[in-house]
Structure 1
């Protein structure tokens, strides 16, 4: 994680530009407790977010109470209730459902607890901050890569995530920003998948391939769905004929890139994202200023937002992730 931590330092220095002078002259901060409610810990990316926060909790005099909702809205409701009962100083929430979680935010605010949304926006509620990867740029990078690989011509499909999730919308908007300029790129299908289900994505790929056997590219909002597509392509011996690109750069996707079974993924740098959320939360809870990138309209509210960087990963730079995924070394250096 050395390279990731170096990059983190540069980003956090930027976040702190407006606050560092005050912090240096301030007394040692009192200890605070942050509750973190994650939609799921099943995906690789969330483990790196957790690692980032726990790596830095001691140096920031912070306790963390971590909750995993396991993609269950009822469980997340109970988790948040418990965090409120424990009187945490602030709550970071990654919602199971961006719409249904609005009631959770209102409950947290009624308890006078600051709330920060991580990775997924919670619709039409007042948040103290929102931290997200540059999802629009994810879509731009994906589409540019696919267009270049296809030499600006061919049929493609888009595997979208959950329609109740702003991340899926933003990535797809980035895709469309590029594709609308490409007269010879034809989107034959774009399908939502509830819960970002790879099983549903697999069914979509099988169905579309039956209707359009001449498809040339598959693009997905995350790594799990694109790996479902790769599974189908391997069965049909089509991995060399159809370009695939996903997002998250999880372990399975990165190993597939190294093996030549998958073409590219966008790394959303989860360690950086988790650390940024953690540091901003500590600043908010201690009444410190922090440097946001933009303010976004969220229904009736305007939310200060920090956007973290992303990077395209393919066979030429997959080596950059060998510290994150040590298994890559066995493939790259064999």
Structure 2
């Protein structure tokens, strides 16, 4: 009888251990909240897909919400995720200033916050993951000057509410500065683009051509969607291939434009790498694991720990070895 009693005790202890192991496994499965601004541009659709796939590969759950350029909606979505007790928030802010309050709310709930590709201003975010956006602007300006060392330049900025727009412009203007002082480069039109809307960029390009009597030699646009809008206006004015245009993001239609000679170049930010690094880092942080950070960036309140990836210039010469090789662009498109 004693023998069977001991056997029963062993079986019960084994069952309890198994139950505890299962409970621990469940506890370790974290949830990542991914708050996005928009899916209007091709690249953001890819970001969502790559990020979601990598989070799931890491054995975590994910909640995704898209604000469609609406500050109030993005704040509402963030508050909902905080109430649902996600383990970490990853934010692509529509408005760099407006999301500061959400960072504060998340921290009160012991939820860490990562700013993805766009920084949140004046807030103690836990991490910023992006590309070196000043370097993007620098690459744009340097490549443009190879084709247009002297002349009249139009600058079509991004949304003024997006801190990246300011970084891109800073990088470009740092390159142009000595040539502006010498008079070789003249910035004849310089405007932000409300909400990154291509139709607003098109209006800006029309105005730039009109007030400068079509005497424009080059255009730098803050992304490829606004660059394409500018090129459409240039084409309508019968000036295709007469004005050098450069953007960034390596959208499919812009890669085609580079191949056709209507766009000079773009800057490729390998979003698969960005999303992979961000997803792995978010899951690690949610599990309270140590993450090695070497860079930082000032967001107006503090120097924020940052992971900054290197952007890549894409011209007609290296399309095959960059966006095609990475599978980012398929030539049959």
The reply to whether TM is greater than 0.5 is yes
Check whether the contact 2:94–2:161 (CA below 8 A) recurs between aligned residues. no
Residue 318 (str. 1) matches residue 319 (str. 2): yes
The count of aligned residue pairs is: 302
Q: In angstroms, what is the RMSD of aligned CA positions?
A: 1.7
**1:91 pairs with one of 89, 92, 110:** 89
Residue in structure 1 matched with residue 135 of structure 2 by the alignment? 137
Check whether the contact 2:296–2:304 (CA below 8 A) recurs between aligned residues. yes
Q: Which 4+ runs in 1 deviate beyond 4 A?
A: none
Normalized against structure 1, the TM-score is what?
A: 0.86
Question: In structure 2, how many angstroms separate the alpha carbons of the residues matched to 1:297 and 1:211?
Answer: 37
Residue in structure 2 matched with residue 299 of structure 1 by the alignment? 300
Alpha-carbon distance, 1:103 to partner: 1.2
Normalized against structure 2, the TM-score is what?
A: 0.86
Check whether the contact 1:49–1:270 (CA below 8 A) recurs between aligned residues. yes
Compare 118-127 and 29-38 and name the one that shifted more: 29-38
Within-5 A mapping of 1:1-334: 30-150=28-148, 152-182=149-179, 183=182, 184-212=184-212, 213-319=214-320, 320-322=322-324, 323-326=327-330, 328-329=331-332
Question: In structure 2, how many angstroms separate the alpha carbons of the residues matched to 1:169 and 1:299?
Answer: 13
Unaligned runs of 5+ in 2: 1-23
Check whether the contact 1:230–1:261 (CA below 8 A) recurs between aligned residues. yes
- Structure with bigger gyration radius: 2
Question: In structure 1, how many angstroms separate the alpha carbons of the residues matched to 2:301 and 2:241?
Answer: 48
Check whether the contact 2:268–2:323 (CA below 8 A) recurs between aligned residues. no
Alpha-carbon distance, 1:30 to partner: 1.9
Question: In structure 1, how many angstroms separate the alpha carbons of the residues matched to 2:124 and 2:256?
Answer: 40
Higher relative contact order (CA 8 A, sep 6+): 1
Unaligned runs of 5+ in 1: 1-26
Deviation per CA, 1:191-248, whole angstroms, max 9, x where unpaired?
Answer: 1111112111111111111222221000011111111110011112212210000011
